[in-house]
Amino acid sequence: MTTNCSEKEQYASLSLLFASSARAAALRALLLDPHPSYYQRQLESATGMPLRAVQREVDRLTRAGLLFKRVEGNRAYYQVNMEHPLFPELRALVLKTAPPAMRLRGAAALDPAVRLCVLSGARDRALVVCRGGRRPVLESAGIILDVMSSDLFLQALAERGGGAVESYLREGSDLLGRRDDVLWRHIEAAGHDVRKEPGVP
């Protein structure tokens, strides 16, 4: 029996395990980066599922205690309950069935030093921008990491010489989706419109 299987087969196995492709997609979007709160439209965009399917699945996951729900105005926000007894096992299953870029996203999301993680257009390298002088402890899933401090990143962005940083921002994709970080204001002010990696809310 072989243990090698394609990304599609790995994702299908997660869908079969949870008897719902919408639930598997929601779990993947939520569990890879469990810290932020997501609203339903973000999850709809990340999963590619119809809003109604997303609403149904997050309601089920909330009733199961895996998600917290809060309402602000007409928006419902959902956040992973990392204290839930099944959280570590469910996250491990999601990571095991995720492609390399999403495994890197999962590692970067939990490292407090990481502010920004951009996958190269060729998908074989990633730019990781960190706070201060802290070096992240990341399992890179076979992806080569180019690590720099926030200060060096901002300096490279200001130089606009078409170097590696410019290439990442022009051709790459955002693995974390944390657009509230002030670094994104600098990126946008420099004229870059970096797309999010599919599956990133």
What is the per-residue pLDDT across 66-75, written as a single tens digit (0 to 9) for each?
A: 999 999 998 8
pLDDT of 201:
87
Q: How far is CA 136 from the centre of its chain?
A: 16
Residue 62 phi/psi, 5° resolution? Answer: -70, -45
Same domain, 83 and 118: no
* H/E segment holding residue 68: strand 67-72
Same domain, 127 and 71: no
Same domain, 156 and 188: yes
**Last residue in a domain, options 41, 68, 92:** 92
Same domain, 110 and 74: no
Measured CA to CA, the distance from residue 175 to residue 40 in angstroms comes to: 19
Give residue 157's domain range.
Answer: 99-196
Domain membership of residue 166 (yes or no) is yes
Measured CA to CA, the distance from residue 85 to residue 73 in angstroms comes to: 31
Same domain, 106 and 176: yes
Same domain, 72 and 137: no
Q: Average pLDDT of 104-108?
A: 93
Same domain, 65 and 121: no
Give the DSSP letter of residue 33.
Answer: S
Domain membership of residue 159 (yes or no) is yes
Instruction: Tell me the one-letter amino acid at 195.
Output: R
How many independent structural domains does the chain possess?
A: 2
Is the per-residue pLDDT at 3 higher than 50? no
Instruction: Tell me the one-letter amino acid at 76.
Output: A
Closest CA to 32 of 94, 78, 85, 93: 94
Measured CA to CA, the distance from residue 4 to residue 23 in angstroms comes to: 24
**Last residue in a domain, options 92, 110, 128:** 92
Domain membership of residue 168 (yes or no) is yes
Same domain, 87 and 104: no
**CATH for 24:** 1.10.10.10
Measured CA to CA, the distance from residue 160 to residue 13 in angstroms comes to: 44
Same domain, 159 and 133: yes
Q: pTM of the predicted model, to two decimals?
A: 0.82
pLDDT band at 97 (very low <50, low <70, confident <90, very high): confident
Give the DSSP letter of residue 198.
Answer: T
Domain membership of residue 201 (yes or no) is no
Q: How far is CA 15 from the centre of its chain?
A: 19
pLDDT band at 161 (very low <50, low <70, confident <90, very high): low
Torsion angle in degrees (nearest 10) through CA of 79, 131, 104, 139? -120
Dihedral sign (CA 86, 25, 139, 109): negative
Same domain, 103 and 189: yes
pLDDT of 117:
95
